[in-house]
A = this chain, B = another copy of it.
Amino acid sequence: MCPPALIPFRPRNPKTRLSALLSLEEREQFARAMLEDVKAAVKDAMCSPVLVCTELFDSDDVQVTVTDTDLNGTLNGILPDSIGPTLIIMADLPLADTAAVRRMISTEKDVAIAPGRGGGTNAIFMKEPRRFHVDYYGTSFLKHMKIAQEAGLSVDVVDSFRLHTDIDEPWDLAELLIHGTGKSRAFLESLGFILSAEKGRVGVERVR
């Protein structure tokens, strides 16, 4: 089984909440490095990455390019045509590893959901994507639980901090420097980011 893994990705001006720490060019490179880490985890778990990009993106990956930026409309346009099990996974999960992706796709339930912090949804695996639709933004985790329930689909909530930890805010970078092993951690380190302890809570600082 090599299910497709749809990975929404925004190549231009991504991760604006990191603007205080990273320049536009650095944010674009960082987003791409995180994407590479997610792709590596997904491929090692025997899934086939399919980038869902807001614009044409220079890569060798299979791509779906969409002109509008409505993630829900885009994905819900793709799912009804999906003929087999399908994974959707966010591109900003550089801690994702093969084991976590395998736990998603080996679920015994109809749907597996990996919640993100603050009620988000970081990954969804659907055995029958035609019977599901997505509703991102806000407390999408609760919305997806309800969508599954209303469709009569059983759900496995995958308990993984590696899939729970999306990188959005400056303090999230500490998680990457602690637990990351891939390209995005190396990229941060190449820019001079290190862990710093401030009043007990660990953060990051940029030393060059």
Contact = CB atoms under 8 A, between A and B. Distances in A.
Interface of A: 97, 99-100, 115, 117-119, 137-139, 141-142, 157, 159-165, 171, 174-175, 178-179, 195, 197, 200-203
Q: How many copies does the complex hold?
A: 2
B159 A118 contact: no
A175 B179 CA distance: 21
A149 B31 CA distance: 33
Contact of A178 (B119, B159, B195): B119
A203 B159 CA distance: 21
B159 A200 contact: no
Nearest to A197: B138
A93 B95 CA distance: 21
Nearest to A164: B161
A15 to B, nearest CB: 14
B200 A141 contact: no
9 contacts: A115-B161, A115-B178, A118-B203, A138-B197, A157-B179, A159-B160, A159-B161, A161-B161, A161-B165
A200 B115 contact: no
B197 A139 contact: yes
A163 to B, nearest CB: 8
A50 to B, nearest CB: 25
Nearest to A171: B118
